[in-house]
Structure 1
Amino acid sequence: MDATPLQLTPELVEDPVRGYADLRSRAGLGHAVLPGLDTPVRLITRYEDARAALIEPRLIRDRSAVPGGSDMPDPQAELLAQGIEGFPEEYLQYLSGHLALFDGDEHTRRRNPLTRAFTARRVSALRPFVERAARELIAGLAEREQADLLGEFAYPLSTAVICELVGVDAADQDRVCEWIRDFAYGDGSRITEGLAGIVEYTRDLVARRRAEPTDDLVSALLADGGMSDDEIVTVFFLLINTGITPPALFLAHGLLALLDHPEQLRRLHDEPELLARAVPELLRYVTLVRIGATLYATEDFEFAGSPLRKGEAVTVALFGANHDPTAFEGPERLDVSREFGRGDGHLAFGHGPHYCIGAALGRLVTGVVLDELLVRRQAPALAVDRADVRFGHWPGDGFHLLSLPVRL
């Protein structure tokens, strides 16, 4: 291990070009300590190295599958211990089934039914619902002197979309959305009540959809037959954890980025045909999931110019990779007309076997929001001084908005 692991503070993570410059300049892979943690990890910050790591079969997600086990330091264990502290034991199975933590055949078994159910047709069919929900939220907030685009727009919109996708009945959506808010993004005081409410409701929903299928995700998963009932409940939590908080925060951070670049905001408003380019550029520029899941070496081997030991922990700085000056011209510059090559051209949705299942839905929702909020009407304005916009910090991942007060 190099003598001085880089201590990544939230402030360093907030500056993806200069904050990672020291690690990028090293010949191999440097060691870093992620914000809020104590355990060092090999951190990949260069774009091409990151893409290679995400498809490297000798780097796996499940530490227990390292041949012979591992006694190497494990930042993921430290992070997970913080994340599940205080949860009732009977519900932990639904929180530990995250697809990001599985590899190979088990990952394929869990992912394939969801991939088959998450069709382009099903995602496309959500567009009218997303447009209607966004317009209704905007209309309500526009009547107010000030509104919070994170808490009162992005979170409710993301939650409503997931409820619609899964198949929560219209009469139940308000109640289920309350449980989701308590669990996923409330003040933490009712997190257990939210967790229990979601589990019991989803169990009941699975039973009802088995008896009377509809055109929703739960019915599709039951028809596929590749998942147990408990695994379908786990899918709902996967969608809550990955389909609500990260997209909501991305929308708020993306809108703030455009407010910080008024010339780009004006251009998008005047040239709505640029929406198709602006969405991937905002995904690259913001990269809400800034640090990827921890990977473990299954054997001793050399990667990106560094010898890795069996069981050693490696992770990808997705935010840093998406701002690598060798991969992007002027990566610190937001450019809504930026052209990308084949594929995404960025790593905001990951790469390889663990590529985000909800990427198409994320692109759809982002496009709708930019259209409804910035193109079809005058853009909102910050209701506070830029220096007074409040940020919080997550262990292992750095900074995120706490609110985005605007005038509509």
Structure 2
Amino acid sequence: MTELISEELPTTRQNPFDPPSEVTAIREQARISRLKFADGHLGWLVTGHHQVRELLGSPKFSNRPENHHLLDKRFQGDLPEDKDKRKAEPGMFLSQDPPDHTRLRKMLQGQFTVRRMNQLSEWIGQIVDDQLAHLRTFDGHADLVKEFAMPVPSLVICALLGVGYEEKSRFQDDTAKMLSLDTTFKDAMEAFARIQEFMRELVARKKENPGDDMISDLIATGEPTDQEASNMALLLLIAGHETTANMLGLGTFTLLQHPDQLKVLRDEPDVIDNAVEELMRYLSIIHLGPTRTALEDVEIEGHLIKAGDSVVMHVPAANRDPEKFPGNPEELDLRRPASGHVAFGHGIHQCLGQQLARIEMRIGFAKLFAEFPDLRLDVEPEEVPLRTDMGIYGVHSLPVAWSA
């Protein structure tokens, strides 16, 4: 069949809440199409919801970085030619396949059960209340990202991992540097090394003086090596504050720009669970990847994906696919049945902390708009700085105002 070929992956968003219009147009032409990677490889772009789920759920595709072709032009010429030198370090389960991935993830699954996460609701609610009280001290004007959206998940994940919140400067700046699309390969690796060093120090401290936290519990099992434990904790630390923080910031911006849906949230408290799912579907803040590489020839809907072909899945486009979400998936509708979205991924690499993220968002959005019923933007919408320069989308800041 004649296949659509894209020379590069469009990343410019014409609307702050929508995927790039060029990607939406590609999906409407072909939910599986060809894409040229930065290293010249002719791989694949998948934009359909069903197709993304099929790929993410298939054991015929690898998530190991040494198998992937290069998508990011920043790193062209910087990555080692020797594939063995591109392998994920021990403990980096997000970038590993079974059986390594299975062994490592199993060590953490008991920490993130739905029951255990629900038991944390009251404690998380208190963290949110304390941060809202802090927000009140700003006399009617504040940056919601700095004073609420970032601190809430950071406080939660730091406490769960046993990291002192006063130590956040040792990882937040470097995390931002790693996620910036403007950071060079050298600078990104230096930032990563600094966070690794911090986590190695933390694991050593926990071995010496265990506490009531996830890292101490992980070490106590005797299963992971020190290197595995520190890298597993590093992944949890980064994922535990960056993603939820950006959903809280961008989600608030979205609701303020959709007053009809904000009214639904305020008038119908029972809608909050579905509202979080719909916001996840609608915004889909992971806008680059995930990437997988075929381990063998695979045919999907008439397309032969050959062994060694790399595939980029476009989650924001998949979550707007009308074949999965009928009606008008381009519109935000907090009453829409939004389950089945792929914002948390799918398959064996589905987000381990998704239940924690859901609880933080449910409590965060509900309490924020209850405490500040007249919350509003303090700048024009087009002045809100968007994270178009970051691997995780959102807003850099969100100036808001309220009646003091």
Q: TM-score range by the shorter chain?
A: 0.7 to 0.9
Q: In the TM superposition, what is the alpha-carbon distance from 1:98 to its structure 2 partner?
A: 3.5
Range with greater deviation from structure 2 (129-138 or 44-53): 129-138
Match of 1:31 in 2: 34
C-alpha contact (below 8 Å) 1:179/1:195 kept by paired residues: no
Query: For 1:163 and 1:223, how far apart are their aligned partners in 2?
Result: 19
Q: In the TM superposition, what is the alpha-carbon distance from 1:19 to its structure 2 partner?
A: 3.6
Q: Is 2:371 aligned against 1:373? A: no
Letter in 2 for 1:185: A
Letter in 2 for 1:224: T
**Using a 3 Å threshold, how does the CA distance of structure 1 residues 76 and 9 change in structure 2: closer, same or farther?**
closer
Query: For 2:133 and 2:77, how far apart are their aligned partners in 1?
Result: 39
Q: In the TM superposition, what is the alpha-carbon distance from 1:357 to its structure 2 partner?
A: 0.2
Q: Is 2:19 aligned against 1:16? A: yes
Match of 1:115 among 105, 109, 117: 109
C-alpha contact (below 8 Å) 1:5/1:40 kept by paired residues: no
Match of 1:402 in 2: 396
Match of 1:101 in 2: 95
C-alpha contact (below 8 Å) 1:13/1:399 kept by paired residues: no
**Using a 3 Å threshold, how does the CA distance of structure 1 residues 83 and 282 change in structure 2: closer, same or farther?**
farther
Match of 2:277 among 277, 280, 291: 280
Deviations 1:23-59 (A, max 9, x none): 223456212468x998664111111111101111211
**Using a 3 Å threshold, how does the CA distance of structure 1 residues 372 and 194 change in structure 2: closer, same or farther?**
farther
Match of 1:70 in 2: none
**Using a 3 Å threshold, how does the CA distance of structure 1 residues 270 and 161 change in structure 2: closer, same or farther?**
same
Letter in 1 for 2:27: R
Query: For 2:367 and 2:90, how far apart are their aligned partners in 1?
Result: 37
**Using a 3 Å threshold, how does the CA distance of structure 1 residues 351 and 278 change in structure 2: closer, same or farther?**
same
Match of 1:182 in 2: 173
Q: In the TM superposition, what is the alpha-carbon distance from 1:93 to its structure 2 partner?
A: 9.3
Question: Secondary structure of 1:42's partner?
Answer: strand
Match of 2:83 in 1: none
CA RMSD of aligned residues (A): 3.3
Range with greater deviation from structure 2 (255-264 or 357-366): 255-264
Higher relative contact order, structure no. (Cα contacts within 8 Å, ≥ 6 residues apart)? 1
Question: Secondary structure of 1:160's partner?
Answer: helix
Query: For 2:77 and 2:364, how far apart are their aligned partners in 1?
Result: 33
Match of 2:122 in 1: 128
Q: In the TM superposition, what is the alpha-carbon distance from 1:363 to its structure 2 partner?
A: 0.3
Q: In the TM superposition, what is the alpha-carbon distance from 1:75 to its structure 2 partner?
A: 2.5
Match of 1:173 among 138, 142, 165: 165
Match of 1:68 in 2: none
Q: In the TM superposition, what is the alpha-carbon distance from 1:242 to its structure 2 partner?
A: 1.4
Q: Is 2:257 aligned against 1:260? A: yes
Query: For 1:180 and 1:107, how far apart are their aligned partners in 2?
Result: 25
Q: Is 2:146 aligned against 1:151? A: yes
Match of 1:56 in 2: 58
Match of 2:307 in 1: 310
**Using a 3 Å threshold, how does the CA distance of structure 1 residues 196 and 315 change in structure 2: closer, same or farther?**
closer
Match of 1:5 in 2: 6
Question: Secondary structure of 1:75's partner?
Answer: coil
Deviations 1:358-397 (A, max 9, x none): 00000010011011101344152000011111123247x5
Q: Is 2:245 aligned against 1:239? A: no
Match of 1:339 in 2: 337
**Using a 3 Å threshold, how does the CA distance of structure 1 residues 296 and 331 change in structure 2: closer, same or farther?**
same
**Using a 3 Å threshold, how does the CA distance of structure 1 residues 199 and 308 change in structure 2: closer, same or farther?**
closer
Question: Secondary structure of 1:295's partner?
Answer: strand
Match of 1:89 in 2: none
Q: In the TM superposition, what is the alpha-carbon distance from 1:224 to its structure 2 partner?
A: 2.4
Letter in 2 for 1:25: E
Q: In the TM superposition, what is the alpha-carbon distance from 1:289 to its structure 2 partner?
A: 1.3
Q: State how 1:201-212 maps to structure 2 within 5 Å.
A: 201-212=198-209
Q: Is 2:228 aligned against 1:226? A: no
Query: For 1:204 and 1:228, how far apart are their aligned partners in 2?
Result: 14
**Using a 3 Å threshold, how does the CA distance of structure 1 residues 12 and 101 change in structure 2: closer, same or farther?**
farther
Deviations 1:85-122 (A, max 9, x none): 9xxxxxx9997854331111011122110113333454
C-alpha contact (below 8 Å) 1:10/1:399 kept by paired residues: no
User: What is the total number of aligned residue pairs between the two structures?
Assistant: 386
C-alpha contact (below 8 Å) 1:59/1:296 kept by paired residues: yes
Letter in 2 for 1:180: F
Query: For 1:93 and 1:41, how far apart are their aligned partners in 2?
Result: 21
